[in-house]
Amino acid sequence: MRKKKLEERIKASIREVKDFPKPGILFKDITPVLLDHTLLFDITEEIGNQFKDVKIDAVAGIESRGYLFGVLLAQKLKVPFIMIRKEGKLPGKTIKESYDLEYGSATIEVQEEVIVEGSHVLIHDDLLATGGTAMAAANLIKQKAFVAGFSFIIDLSFLKGRKKLEKVQQKIQSIITY
């Protein structure tokens, strides 16, 4: 019952923006969610509860909206936070992964030294669409560690991203699904 009420609160807060970032895309904007500190807390609690029985040594958040709850989740779980960024934004030695997304292509990277060999890393982003970004993040993490699971606020299930991620890890959680 509590999860259902949380879903309703999140859906009521999300703003839909037509034709962003390009024509034909209906963008789910979580900016209004961030304005409600109680909702932020409740979302972080729910994600933490979804993974309470999973070994997690670190949380990796995908730039940029994956940082918003990723940092809060890492704090709640008392583990380090790993930034996965767009190419060229991190100093030092990095490992990179290129991928396709629903409206183009991109490359992400992570600082090589921040991933502890053999650790279990939870990958977090705000939204699961085609799964390209999360799969690229998983490929980065798998070079040194294990993917403990995937966490999202929103799953656009009609884009079938979950199916792609299931090849890496079965523990895939989201709070709301469209």
Residues whose CB falls within 8 Å of the CB of residue 25, separated by 6 or more in sequence, listed in order: 19, 102, 103
The structure tokens listed for 18 are 């037509």
The structure tokens listed for 40 are 């932020």
Positions marked catalytic: 65, 102
